[in-house]
Copies of this chain bind each other. A is one copy, B any other.
Amino acid sequence: MNQENSQKTILALLRSALDRWCKGDTFGYADLFARDATYFDPRTETRIERSAAVQDHFRQYYEGKINVPRFEMPNPKFQLHGTIAVLTYNWYPFSGDGERLSGWNATEVWQNSDDQWKIIHGHWSLVQPK
């Protein structure tokens, strides 16, 4: 697998899904999860398992509730090992006035299967100031 192409492919999938997320549509991001994926975020009490449950979780907490005109995801990093890519990044949503609304740490473990990249584990958490 070509490393540069893998990174470009994953980032394109992700940016497109996060663009939809920022308009309140969580289904694009949910669609990136593999059927047997696992997931953590600040609203989960315990690990969520399987993509259907991830989709339900997004629908319950976030669907239609997000309106972010702009985001930044500085300095994404890939750790590629065969068919597995560990992607880590910070994610910053901004208001229309240019105010940073929050800061997130994001981990996604992607797997390439049948020439398709899917997230097999996601973990989102809030950056907490010192």
Contact = CB atoms under 8 A, between A and B. Distances in A.
12 contacts: A36-B79, A38-B86, A40-B105, A40-B107, A42-B128, A43-B128, A47-B90, A81-B82, A86-B109, A86-B121, A105-B125, A125-B126
Interface residues of A, number: 35
Contact of A81 (B77, B84, B126, B129): B84
Interface string A99-130: 00001010101010000000011010111111
Given A75-B47, A88-B40, A105-B40, A81 B121 contact: no
Interface string A3-47: 000000000000000000000000000000000101010111111
